[in-house]
Amino acid sequence: MATFGEFLRNERIKKGLTQSDFGQIFGIIMTDMSKIENGHKKFPPANLEKLAEFLEMDFAKVKNLFVAEILVEKAHKYKCSDDVFSVAESQSKYIKEKNVKQAVMKF
């Protein structure tokens, strides 16, 4: 498992492209591609779908990699242990269940 930036770099190199070439596809200049690969800047979310197409990967997987990096940043900002992610998963499931129940109640 790598960061989103490293993932991008790997895929780019697999295809034998420079940051400049690769960026051009998504309208990103080279210096920004560098920042993105090194985690100093975010890949533009609006281009994630196009990115998935280009890499011939499942959009959801690409998006997960992207969003995961944002979550990791947040967790580190608050100096949380990695437990926080499974707590979050439980919470998310709990909320979804709750929403289902409420939706059912409406009928």
Please count the residues of this chain forming the interface with its own copies, following the rule CB under 8 A: 36
Q: Does 20 bind DNA (CB under 7 A)?
A: yes
Instruction: Collect all residues with Cβ–Cβ distance below 8 Å to 103 and sequence separation of at least 6.
Output: none
Q: Binding to DNA by residue 84, rule CB under 7 A?
A: no
Is 42 strand, coil or helix?
coil
63 sits near its own copies (criterion: CB under 8 A): yes
Tell me which of DNA, its own copies, none is bound by residue 84, counting a contact when its beta carbon lies within the kind-specific cut-off of 5 to 8 angstroms.
its own copies
> Rule CB under 7 A: is residue 67 a binding residue for DNA?
no
Name, in order, each residue with C-beta under 8 angstroms of 15's C-beta and a sequence gap of 6 or more.
22
Residues 9-38 that bind its own copies (CB under 8 A): none
Q: Figure out which of the listed residues 3, 24, 34, 47 binds DNA, where binding follows CB under 7 A.
A: 34
In the 3-class helix/strand/coil scheme, how is 58-71 assigned residue by residue? CHHHHHHHHHHHHH
- Position among 3, 24, 26, 30 found at the interface with DNA (CB under 7 A): 30
42 contacts 76 by C-beta, under 8 angstroms: no
